[in-house]
Amino acid sequence: MRVRAEVTQAFQYGLIIFTLTALLGLANATQIFGALDRNTLLTHLHSGTLGWITMGVIGIAIWIFARGDDDLAAPVMLSALSTAAYVMAFWSGVYILRGVFGLSELAVIVYWWWFVYTRAGGWAGIRRLDIPKLSVVLGLTTLVVGSTLGVTVQVLLATGNVLPTSFDLIGAHATAQTGGYLVLVAAGFAEWQLAGAAGKRSTLGLAQVYLLFVGGLVLAVSLLLASFLGPQLAQALPGVATLLTLAGIVIVAVRFGRTAIAAPWMAASGMRHIAVAVGFLVLAVILQAILVQQFIAAQGDVTKVSMGLLHALDHSYFIGVMTNVLFGAILVTTADRPRLWPWADHVIFWGLNLGAAAFIAVLLIVGSGEGAKPFTHPVSFVAPIMGLSALLGIATYLMRLMGAPAAVSARARA
């Protein structure tokens, strides 16, 4: 499929930064350099969520919303540079750099929100959007909210302040980004690819989008303001928010679960990646509901929730849902280019997904492997299957994205 050059560029920048995520993930899995410090873990986390996932989502946003006369090469390059700088600032541990580049990253995110909002036709246009596009617009809206909370943390730390204990800024930031932004964007893009025209506006579709949007925001706000809500509301609200998100996901399963299951699982196309992402989305939301239950039972004491469960939930979203969505998107956009290393498609698909499933199962059953001696915890054996498959995906897809579309190279040869 022919897509604009800027879509390809955004995917390329994302893949390059994802290399760092995967290498740090391998170091963490094998523990061959010992336990990773907090700065390095935050680099693993934000190189993945901003460098890989959000650069990829920028590519998807351009693909879905750009107009013919848009020239987006400079915004895409500046976004990649800002993101790379912020990721390195996380690694440096220098608070002032994190503050400055955190603010520039927020500017990048607000720009892309504004881009989809205006291309969607503003407030009047949004009321006519189909369900996949509406999901992406609302997902990016939650990304702006979550990123504003993240930058607030960053600016407070850069200006020498301690974080307020009365607001759970970090918890609210993390939940808005995963339980709101990622859920909506993944559901929207998956439907756009799997169901096509079936994504037109319907009451059930609108119920799905707004349940997911409100569920994500209410969960974030209920964590942010827990100490002001009074004990009963602080206990009840996260549960209510989780129920809204679960109801939204049930509608996802009803509306296009069957199309996902019917995907061509043995064909080396992007569709099976996108279809399996829908399965991981259901798993992630269920794990999130269990985590919220633990959090409520621990009366908001995050140190009492299971680290294995938290990391299982993280990788369900980041690898199971988003890496599959983006690998799927790249395969769809490169379908008309020479298929270099054709054998790699099956290794990447099965390695990434069986590796992720085994990693998640180990984290849930045995628990977190952090701090264990090298190769003494099962995480050391299963996470590398996922990490090496991701690295193979990065190399294969970067080469394919650099190749000219088949029609163009045939014309050049003639």
In the complex, least distance from residue 126 CB atom to ligand HEM, rounded to whole angstroms: 22
- Given 14, 17, 43, 52, the residue binding ligand HEM (CB under 6 A): 52
Q: Residues 236-255 vs ligand HEM: string with x where CB under 6 A? A: --------------------
CA angle in degrees (0–180, nearest 5) for 11-255-336: 30
In angstroms, the CA 101 to CA 104 distance is 5
How many of the other CB atoms lie within 10 Å of CB of 38?
9
In the complex, least distance from residue 264 CB atom to ligand HEM, rounded to whole angstroms: 25
Per CB under 6 A, 383 contacts ligand HEM: yes
Nearest CA to 16 out of 312, 406, 334, 402 is that of 402
Handedness of CA 374, 378, 326, 107 (dihedral sign): negative
Q: Are 10 and 81 in contact (CB under 8 A)?
A: no
Q: Residues 331-370 vs ligand HEM: string with x where CB under 6 A? A: --------------------------------x----xxx
Q: Near ligand HEM by CB under 6 A, which window of 127-135, 185-193, 255-263, 309-317?
A: 309-317
Give every CB contact of residue 196 below 8 A, 6+ residues apart in sequence.
none
Helix (H), strand (E) at residue 217 = helix 203-224
Per CB under 6 A, 48 contacts ligand HEM: yes
In angstroms, the CA 226 to CA 236 distance is 10
Per CB under 6 A, 330 contacts ligand HEM: no
Between 88 and 198, CB nearer to ligand HEM: 88
Between 3 and 322, CB nearer to ligand HEM: 322
Q: Which residue is nearest to ligand HEM (CB)?
A: 25
H-assigned helices in 298-413: 307-315, 324-333, 344-365, 379-402, 406-413
Instruction: Name the residues that contact ligand HEM, by CB under 6 A.
Output: 21-22, 25-26, 28-29, 41-42, 44-46, 48-50, 52-54, 102, 105-106, 109, 147, 150-151, 153-154, 170, 173-174, 177-178, 181-182, 307, 311, 314-315, 318-319, 323, 363, 368-370, 379, 383-384, 386-387, 390
